[in-house]
Amino acid sequence: MISETFAQSAARLAGLAGAMLGWRPDDFWAATPAELATILQVFSDDAPDGVPAARSDLSALMEQFPDG
């Protein structure tokens, strides 16, 4: 049986992923906890070096790994 705490946390994280990332429920449930944590770290002050990725870095990654 799933604990109430897990269910509440999952609902909160699903809502956060929808609001901040534009994810649909299927996107949320298909992601691993590590993937979600990595993505949400961008919005946190806990980034490893304290500096978010530059737009040029993101553009280079998008060119290397296009979606589709």
Instruction: Give the confidence band of 4 by pLDDT, cuts at 50, 70, 90.
Output: confident
User: Which single residue is written with the structure tokens 């806990």?
Assistant: 46
Helix-helix angle 33-41:4-21, to 10 degrees: 50
- Residue 49 corresponds to which tokens in the numbers above? 């070096």
Angstrom distance (rounded) from CA 11 to CA 17 = 10
Instruction: Give the confidence band of 50 by pLDDT, cuts at 50, 70, 90.
Output: low
**Whether the predicted pLDDT of 48 surpasses 80:** no
Q: What is the pTM of this model?
A: 0.55
Q: Going by C-beta distance under 8 Å and a sequence separation of 6 or more, which residues neighbour residue 41?
A: 47
Q: Going by C-beta distance under 8 Å and a sequence separation of 6 or more, which residues neighbour residue 36?
A: 13, 17, 28
28: number of Cβ within 10 Å = 17
